[in-house]
Amino acid sequence: MLTQQIVNGIVVGSVYALIALGYTLVYGILQLINFAHGEIYMMGAYVGIAVLAVLGAMGVTEQSLAISILLVFLVPMVYCAAYGVTLERVAYRPLRRAPRLSPLISAIGMSIFLQNYVQVAQGARERAFPNLLHLGSFELMGAHVSGLQVFILAAALAMMAGLQVFIHKTRLGRAMRATALDRTMASLVGVDVNRVIAMTFAIGSILAAVAGVMVGMYYGVVNHYIGFVAGIKAFTAAVLGGIGNVTGALLGGFLLALLESFWAGYVSAVYKDVFAFAVLIVVLIFRPEGILGGSAAETDRS
């Protein structure tokens, strides 16, 4: 039982961590909570369904599983990246010099708009997400582990490692860290701040799209409301780890999912969402800077 809850928590935590990274990247640069980020994740799942439908109609899913898997991730990543950049350009950039409450209200407005847009376009009912991967399962220390869980965890860890390399080893990554430290100074030394911010939204949206497809594959169904719940949980994970801190977002994602898994396994699965919100309240009261907040956040940016 304990091992099973740990396995479930780690797999779900990898998804939370991917979404939380989008929150923390944007906050690190703009000090903005992008509440529409959860809806980007939801749209990634819906685009994945659309891609699978097209590939199925063309017979590609029967001819090549590898190409189908590649496209079902790649197309939502590109689509959501474009959406994230557009969101920043339309809803946030015009308010960059406005009081901090204005972009926050704009973010909530965009979240509601995107949620209702998908509801109108796709309907209010749940949509089935076809399962392409039939990877079997095995026993690990008494826990039932499916091949899909291993695939999700491996893909998520690869994305996280790739992001760390990108941030610390590439020119754009260094520009992102410089912009996060001091936007004005970064622009004075030649950093194109607008481009950096747009790329930050694109990267966060790509991670959210991957998480959306993973969740669709894992649970088999999606609806227009999944972005709100997952977005709040990922935000909780980002706050728990220390929002603005990339390592903290990863830590918070796994920690929140493990706590949630233990709660569902030993207390009540019905109230596991309530438990996640309770964690957010407790963190905001007793340690609002998060586990790795404060000086650790500065270390992470440097």
Instruction: Read off the pLDDT of residues 233-249 as tens digits, 9 standing for 90 and up.
Output: 888 888 888 887 888 88
DSSP-derived 3-state class of residue 134: coil
Q: In the predicted model, is pLDDT for residue 183 greater than 80?
A: yes
DSSP-derived 3-state class of residue 221: strand
Q: How confident is the model at residue 296 (pLDDT cuts 50, 70, 90)?
A: very low
DSSP E strand stretches across the chain: 127-128, 137-140, 143-146, 221-222
Q: Specify the pLDDT at position 287.
A: 83
Q: Residues 12, 237: contact at Cβ < 8 Å?
A: no
Q: Specify the pLDDT at position 289.
A: 82
Across the range 215-229, mean pLDDT stands at: 88
Q: Residues 205, 22: contact at Cβ < 8 Å?
A: yes
Q: Specify the pLDDT at position 294.
A: 56
**Residue 45 — left, alpha, or beta (φ > 0 → left; ψ -120 to 50 → alpha)?**
alpha
Across the range 161-185, mean pLDDT stands at: 90
Q: What does the alpha-carbon distance between residue 114 and residue 100 come to, in Å, rounded to a whole number? A: 22
Q: What does the alpha-carbon distance between residue 164 and residue 176 come to, in Å, rounded to a whole number? A: 12
pTM for this one? 0.89
The pLDDT tens digits for 18-48 are: 899 888 888 888 888 888 899 999 999 999 9
Q: In the predicted model, is pLDDT for residue 297 greater than 50?
A: no
Q: What does the alpha-carbon distance between residue 211 and residue 72 come to, in Å, rounded to a whole number? A: 12
Nearest to 211 by CA among 78, 9, 8, 16: 16
Q: Count Cα atoms within 13 angstroms, Cβ side, for 110.
A: 23
Q: Specify the pLDDT at position 77.
A: 95
Q: How confident is the model at residue 299 (pLDDT cuts 50, 70, 90)?
A: very low
Across the range 158-175, mean pLDDT stands at: 90
The pLDDT tens digits for 55-109 are: 988 888 888 888 989 999 999 999 999 999 999 999 888 888 888 888 889 989 9
Q: Specify the pLDDT at position 224.
A: 86
